[in-house]
Amino acid sequence: MSATGRSDVRRSDDFYATPAWCTLALLPHLTRCSVLDPCAGDGAILDTVRQAWGCEAIGIEVDKDRADRSRSVWRNALTHEPWPYADQIITNPPYSLASEFVERAITTGRDCAFLLRLNYLGSKKRAKFHREHPCDVYVLPRRPSFTNGGTDATEYAWMVWGHGRGNRWAILDVDTPDRARKLQQVDLRQLSVPESWLAMR
């Protein structure tokens, strides 16, 4: 996923590879176990997980050439066909299909980590969904570059759904991505935040 860059034209297929440091910053907050990426692309997330954890990481990718490069299953992950099994899901979905992927993933009952724009938590349209399916939010304190050029034009966070998840947030330490310690983690219910924001949750 990527916002339209400050000097970049948006790609027609909505494909933007995930920088390794983004994934490395998240991994300490997940269980070390097998991973599925239903939007595998060139396999950036899969490769990072394999190298960092040494565990099984499998993907689904709609583009045949990218599926071949990432050693992924070649098909559309949004069909009714079941996804291959893995203990958890880590993915960076196309922006235009983010909600469809999130809604499909949470039905699996597994921990599901999505790299999303921070403003995905907003919008009246998604308010009901967020109230019914709260997630943990792990904010990236610097903007990713998805095009090997300038940074993106918006802020990003990993949003994680799953059993026991919801109403917690952390700012990830990306200066030491191998450790990626939490700089701050609190329960949102203990914060003094606008009631309208909490109501959305």
Q: Is residue 10 in some structural domain?
A: no
User: Any idea what the CATH number is for the domain that residue 132 is in?
Assistant: 3.40.50.150
Instruction: Tell me the whole-structure pTM to 2 decimals.
Output: 0.80
The boundaries of the domain holding residue 182 are 20-200
Q: What is the pLDDT of residue 181?
A: 41
Number of domains, the chain = 1
pLDDT in tens, the chain (201 residues): 544 333 344 444 456 789 999 999 999 999 999 999 999 999 999 999 999 999 999 999 999 999 999 999 999 999 999 999 999 999 999 989 999 999 999 999 999 999 999 999 988 889 999 999 999 999 998 888 666 655 567 899 999 999 999 989 999 977 544 443 443 344 444 433 334 333 433
Residue 1 lies in a domain: no
Give the per-residue pLDDT at 199. 40
Domain contains 14: no
Burial class (CB within 10 angstroms; exposed 0-12, middle 13-18, buried 19+) of 14:
middle
Count CA atoms closer than 13 A to 84's CA, side-chain side: 19
CA distance 142 to 174: 8
Q: Is the residue at 15 inside a domain?
A: no
| 77 part of a folded domain | yes
Residues 80-97: tens digit of each pLDDT: 999 999 999 999 999 899
User: Which pLDDT does position 9 carry in this prediction?
Assistant: 40
In a domain, 146, yes or no: yes
In three-state form (DSSP H/G/I as H, E/B as E, the rest C), the secondary structure along the chain is CCCCCCCCCCCCCCCCCCCHHHHHHHHHHCCCCCEEECCCCCCHHHHHHHHHHCCCEEEEECCHHHHHHHCCEECCCCCCCCCCCCCEEEECCCHHHHHHHHHHHHCCCCEEEEEEEHHHHCCHHHHHHHHHCCCEEEECCCCCCCCCCCCCCCCEEEEEECCCCCCEEEEECCCCCCCCCEEEEEEHHHCCCCHHHHHHC
Q: Is residue 126 part of a domain?
A: yes
